[in-house]
Chains A and B, each alone.
Chain A
């Protein structure tokens, strides 16, 4: 629980750590992407502006690709660059490089592309409502009992929509590629989450022209949130190709507006729920969930998002008969990708709202109704994975108590009678399975390396990146605290694919949960093998044994058995749990929701570093609240947002009082924390608004324009 200062705090404050754009190499030139402004069509002609000496430019097209024109992804269907046909706005057509960055930007903005336009799907609802757009893998979780619904059961049918969300990392995407012809090595300095994904990306585009791609991250990575999981593979590929062709180091840093428009976003979703509730017992007896994601033009990693989506779609309720179907829908927009939560926030958005709707119709308060239906020991997930702890229920009970929910419910009801403005209070719950889904961690087969030097300095080698979330500090802490070694003797090495073993990508709330716990075990194992009490003393008196290199692999718990075909079994070994209560103030004149307080209780197991964990939780909760409240990326008739002037992130002024408490911290295991704060808070706003006004809104975000439209429909309120 020690709040050790982040190892990157000082170098980031004094500016000594370099972010991608701070690196420069001799002879380096600048690259940019020329991308499609057409949603679907054939490329007829590319016209460059006059007055430029084309010999100064390096240009790469699809036909220059030396390997395969397919980005390695869970589903390999996305080309690095369009060949003759473009399938979405933002699809890369060329990489262009020039020594002068500003001139290059001018050149590209004045380059025109002529298309033969073809029909395109650009609207979210147009995509998700039409079954003709279904493609790729379909997932089904079938946990039906076969019993017919009792005619007395109360049926609810609702369709929920969630929008795109922009990761809004501080540092835009960027890459530097340096071709080293002598060794046939492509060295890439990467701003990414997953150096080994980037390595695959570069090796795929370069084919057998190179011996190896070596990826090293920049010292500082200014945020990622999933946005730097797969897009960097494409970017690194094209940057490498430019470096190969020009023979010079090439740097590409995306402009913010390009970054916002063409990189991956959270998948918009349409989730349709049919539920049947027994009015006597207040138990939900049967549920059907149809879960749809707008993937954009290509599948890429969407099937994996879909998997996590369907596995979290039922939220935390035990329902005897459940049928969940997940499908991907194609549109002519850039591929959507990873974003903190990874399919789970969409499911909670629907199910947590649905629960409040049923509760209100049954004339119960939403807490009482949740209490009856929430997971308890002995229940099971729709995949038949048994529920072995009551920690979700503990989170709910604690947050209800802490937020004084029941009293406020009464108090607000009374206050609202005599005021035009309204106060509301809403609950939501959520959870997140740690690590890769199902057998994923077994397949990943992560490895870590530790070197102990003669001066008892311990160097930790992992491929997991620290993108500001404090992973390297926390990982070091887990190793050192296990054997009581001083932190200042710690060095977490900069991830480099030729030096660090593949400990997997920095995704899926797995870094601390999988790699951190592995390092802790590893430290204890080294201690056991050498039989020391104090490592420093041991190294001093056994100098001949050092430096010493150790390697250790992750071994999945044998209880994790998952049938990937039928979606039956243990999808995740450990879940983090959470519950939240949010209070709002609704301004009747302006239809604005003001967040006044948000109280969350989370079980993430052992808290390694209280300060870092609290920061992660508060940041994620805010990102989650903003998802439900104000962030919108696409407006029908106006298209995608271009920058932060229009894409409304909350400012510090908009942040309510956020209260976070961790419970069950005496656990031995540090569970996943990265994503869960994003999963659960948003629905609490919608539920609070429903509580305040009696108006139920089926779509995020709850911007005032949408509220006004809904109030007009619900005139009685």
Chain B
């Protein structure tokens, strides 16, 4: 059953030093789970490969087995079911950007992704990969957080749904169980209907960059009162996060009565910006505050 013949000897030198990497290409979802269960220890699921391939090239992944997913077309689709838009985990960013369904139902979500990486990477990178890679800077996650998306998790014998806000537990840590994968993303079809929307991804240039910070927001304001507000940020914590405390503070407030000292107070409880090669703590914090203020006042 298993197509383990794709074992590939990357280097062979006089039999003295061999570097073996095993690659698996299961023929179906069922086979995927069977393959996956047979592999003990650490392994990688490779969807678009835009990050894993770089890690292999840089020697960060050396001996661990790799399971290819990208050919499993059953996880590559965008469709509507009941009142949800379902995006298969292996759907590429270019498919998301070209989808007529998303253009009609979730145009804000779709438009916000135009700045994702570069056209080359868009054709390969997948929505599931962007989520499961677990990067604090994952572009799609702040958007999914404010759209109240759920993830459909598949394992051999079970399907379950979890809100994306509960998916991450820490840096590159998830609630995924062993041999469980992200199968699809579910977004309520009216998730952005009737909301004023906001999305900013800040980086060192206008395209092909890793976010210094990203912020996504939805709001409903009537008679100057904030009736609903949803805010999520990326690159400001160990994983992208909804700002529930800030939201709670803002809800039902009159816009002109917001005390930004209070907003900052709650924000500080929810974000932990750092200084790194790409940017500074102070910058990330100040820009986050500025953008929230602009979004509320616009």
Contact = CB atoms under 8 A, between A and B. Distances in A.
Nearest to A594: B206
A590 interface: yes
A654 interface: yes
Nearest to B54: A645
Contact of B206 (A51, A638, A646, A653): A653
B286 interface: yes
B290 interface: yes
A590 B13 contact: no
Interface in A577-600: 588-592
B298 to A, nearest CB: 11
B123 interface: no
Given A651-B205, A708-B286, A102 B291 contact: no
- Name the residue in B13, B207, B279, B294 with the highest tally of chain A Cβ atoms < 10 Å from its Cβ: B13
Contact of B16 (A51, A106, A630, A650): A51
Nearest first, the 10 A-B pairs at minimum CB distance are A648-B204, A653-B206, A589-B290, A653-B207, A705-B283, A651-B207, A51-B17, A705-B280, A53-B16, A638-B277
Given A638-B277, A650-B205, A52 B283 contact: no
B11 A103 contact: yes
A694 interface: no
Nearest to B281: A705
A56 B278 CA distance: 41
Interface string B206-222: 11111000000000000
Contacts of B294: 589
Interface string B260-298: 000000000000000011111011001100110110000
A24 interface: no
A103 B17 contact: yes
B166 to A, nearest CB: 30
Given A103-B19, A638-B276, A653-B206, 15 more contacts: A100-B13, A103-B11, A589-B293, A590-B202, A590-B291, A591-B287, A630-B204, A630-B205, A651-B206, A652-B207, A653-B205, A654-B206, A654-B207, A708-B286, A709-B282
Contacts of B16: 51-53
A638 B278 CA distance: 10
Contact of B11 (A102, A635, A641): A102
A646 B208 CA distance: 11
Nearest to A107: B17
B13 A56 contact: yes
Contacts of A359: none
B14 interface: yes
18 contacts: A52-B17, A53-B13, A99-B13, A100-B11, A103-B13, A589-B293, A590-B200, A590-B290, A630-B204, A638-B277, A646-B277, A648-B205, A649-B205, A651-B205, A653-B206, A654-B207, A708-B280, A708-B282
A109 interface: yes
B5 interface: no
B41 interface: no
A703 interface: yes
Nearest to B205: A654
A418 to B, nearest CB: 15
A704 B207 contact: no
Interface string A627-660: 0001000010010010001101111111000000
Interface of B: 10-11, 13-14, 16-17, 19, 59, 200, 202, 204-210, 276-280, 282-283, 286-287, 290-291, 293-294
B130 to A, nearest CB: 17
Nearest to B19: A106
A590 B10 contact: no
Describe A's contact surface by its main secondary structure.
Answer: loop
Contacts of B276: 638
Interface string A467-494: 0000000000000000000000000000
Given A590-B291, A638-B277, A708-B286, A648 B13 contact: no
Contacts of A653: 205-207
Nearest to A637: B275
Contacts of A592: 202
Contacts of B14: 53, 56
Contacts of A100: 11, 13
A648 B205 CA distance: 7
Contacts of B13: 53, 56, 99-100, 103
Interface in A504-548: none
Given A589-B290, A648-B209, A703 B17 contact: no
B278 A589 contact: no
Contacts of B200: 590
A90 B139 CA distance: 35
Contacts of B286: 591, 708
Nearest to A642: B277
Contacts of A56: 13-14
Interface in A92-125: 99-100, 102-103, 105-106, 109
Nearest to A646: B277
A590 B287 contact: yes
B277 A635 contact: yes
A592 B205 CA distance: 9
A704 to B, nearest CB: 6
A703 B204 contact: yes
A105 B210 CA distance: 27
Contacts of B291: 589-590
A407 B202 CA distance: 32
Interface string A156-190: 00000000000000000000000000000000000
A1 B16 CA distance: 62
A703 B277 CA distance: 13
B19 A646 contact: no
A601 B142 CA distance: 45
A638 B280 CA distance: 12
A194 B280 CA distance: 41
A555 B277 CA distance: 51
A638 B290 CA distance: 27
A646 B17 contact: no
| Max chain A C-beta neighbours (<10 A), residue from B17, B204, B293 | B204
A241 to B, nearest CB: 23
A394 B280 CA distance: 44
A262 to B, nearest CB: 17
A548 to B, nearest CB: 52
A591 B200 CA distance: 13
Nearest to A420: B294
A311 B10 CA distance: 55
Contact of A708 (B11, B19, B283, B293): B283
Contacts of A103: 11, 13, 17, 19
B152 to A, nearest CB: 32
A257 B60 CA distance: 15
Given A52-B16, A100-B13, A705 B279 contact: yes
